[in-house]
Homo-oligomer: A and B are copies of this chain.
Amino acid sequence: MNPQVSVLRKGRKLDQVLAGAREIFLRDGFEGASVDDIARAAGVSKATLYSYFSDKRQLFQEVVQAECQRMSTEIVSKIDDTMPIREALSAAAYGLTKFLVSDFSQRIFRICVAERDRFPELGQAYYAAGPGNGHQQLVEHLAASVACGELEIADVDMAAYQFSELCKARNFSLACFGVKTEFGESEIQDVAEAAVDMFMKSYAPKQA
């Protein structure tokens, strides 16, 4: 709703603190990050840091919330309504497949998963801003394509889940478990194309 709702003290170094915290939390996670490290990375004294935030927890939440907002707006800004469905899906599949194995996305994912017990609301907020949001967008596009006869889908909601899940085929698990961390263009394209192929074979009306 309101992007700047936080009631943080204003002050010269607030942005520095947030930037430093973002860097260290993203690198080390919540438990792994030490407040001294954050203060050092931010170029700020610990006392200053604690004048903005009541504790480590609050600082962490503020950082992750900001990241969620960043991502959410970035994802939404990339949607294109004018293409025919296959092209639109190809573009979406490629973007998603690539994003899912990116270092940034993997780090955020790991933090959310790792801190699920300590911050139950964190994963939920991330889900809503990221995957949940994307899912909604996709459902709307699919429904529109069904309405104009481009697609034939009994359960649009499930189809949307399947689509995004297909973009995780092979690469995502490998990345999650650290079996493979770098992916070439073709490894991303292959998965994206296979996802679109499968999706279209299932849900595009056959011209008999």
Residues of B near A123 (CB, < 8 A) are 176-179
Measured between beta carbons, the chain B residues less than 8 angstroms from A158 are 169-170, 190-191, 194
Query: Which of B112, B161, B202 interacts with A177 by CB under 8 Å?
Result: B112
In the complex, the answer to whether B168 meets A127 with C-beta atoms within 8 Å is no
- State how many angstroms separate the Cβ of A61 from the closest Cβ of chain B: 15
* Max count, chain B CB within 10 A of own CB: residue among A32, A109, A177: A177
Does residue A76 face the partner (Cβ distance < 8 Å to B)? no
Q: How many interface residues does A have (CB within 8 Å)?
A: 41
A36 within 8 A of B: no
CA distance A195 to B161 in the complex (A): 11
Out of B114, B126, B172, B190, which one reaches A114, CB within 8 Å?
B114
Cβ-based interface call for A147 (8 A): no
**Which single residue of chain B is at the shortest CB-CB distance from A31?**
B31
